[in-house]
Amino acid sequence: MAGTKRKQPDKGALRKSLYNKVAHDLGQRIVRGDYKPGALLPNEAECGQIYKVSRTAVREAVKMLSAKGLIQSRPKIGSRVEPRSSWNLLDRDVIGWYCATVDFHSFAHDVQQIRFMIEPEAAALAAISRTPQHLAEIEAAYQAMAEGVDDEAAWNAADVNFHLAILNASGNGFIPPFGRVIESLLANLFSVTVAHLRNRLKVLPMHEAIFAAIRARKPDLARMAVRRLLTGTQKTIDQGGKLKAAALDSRSRQRKGAKIAAKG
């Protein structure tokens, strides 16, 4: 239409999109092991050519990766990959890259250790410190789980919210931020364990028991209920590992049989 001004692109958003693209690709490659600890990343000019971006975008990407502990950048030396011990594995981006590359059962083992350390005590604290608002949030998440038993995605999201709501209700100011940074860990864990649940109705009562104990202000019962749930989750993970191993073994035998038949 005549007289209508064309909306100008947001240069700041575009620049952020460009350096995010570079940072995410380099971050994934570092976590995956394409760039080993001690290795130097391509310099600014090389990265600019590889990703078709300006040196400014490359510098912003380097700053982003440095803040996450993945690299250390020094003048005249370049950007060197840091050892894994320096990585901030609780950063949301690093968690995502890590989950996409690490063996699931190794990942699940580490996550479960953290959960056994934190969640039972957080539930016990929630039973003591929860407010009516906290209780409403836990109940809402539980109800969403009950309504999503036939919908894997809905169940997964509600399950994450249920556990985070309990951490938020603990009354300890350091626990809720920790819950936010492990949200990606929980979501990745649940996305796999949920797929192995033949009947979600079997674990729903375990969540209800946690909610009931917190509502009744019974910390010991809340602690035990969470431990019971986590033990069940561990069994599901172990069962999934056995099923995967059996499937791989079956495919291996099929390939061997096909080779023998071809030779015959």
| pLDDT tens track for 64-115 | 999 999 999 998 899 999 999 999 988 888 988 888 888 878 888 888 898 9
Helices of type H across the chain: 11-32, 44-51, 55-67, 92-101, 104-129, 132-147, 152-168, 175-181, 183-196, 204-215, 219-263
Does residue 131 belong to any structural domain of this protein?
yes
| pLDDT tens track for 188-225 | 777 777 776 666 888 999 999 999 999 999 999 999 99
Q: What is the pTM of this model?
A: 0.74
CA 239, CA 131: separation in Å to the nearest integer?
38
Q: What Rg value do the Cα atoms of the chain yield, rounded?
A: 24
- Domain span at residue 31? 11-86
Per the structure, how many domains does the chain have? 2
Does residue 126 belong to any structural domain of this protein?
yes
- The answer to whether the beta carbons of residues 88 and 69 sit under 8 Å apart is yes
Residue 173 has pLDDT above 50, yes or no: yes
Same domain for 80 and 170: no
CATH number, domain at 136? 1.20.120.530
- Mean pLDDT, residues 19-44 taken together: 94
Residue 22 has pLDDT above 70, yes or no: yes
Confidence of residue 1 (pLDDT cuts 50, 70, 90): very low
**Mean pLDDT of the residues in the chain:** 85
Task: Report how far Cα 69 is from the mean position of its chain's Cα atoms.
Answer: 18
| pLDDT tens track for 232-253 | 888 888 876 554 544 445 555 5
pLDDT value at residue 178: 81
Same domain for 144 and 112: yes
Task: Report how far Cα 234 is from the mean position of its chain's Cα atoms.
Answer: 17
Residue 18 has pLDDT above 60, yes or no: yes
Instruction: Burial-class residue 163 by CB neighbours within 10 Å (0-12, 13-18, 19+).
Output: buried
- Mean pLDDT, residues 143-165 taken together: 92
Q: Taking Cα atoms as reference points, which of 105, 119, 215, 103 lies closest to residue 172?
A: 119
Same domain for 248 and 145: yes
Same domain for 185 and 66: no
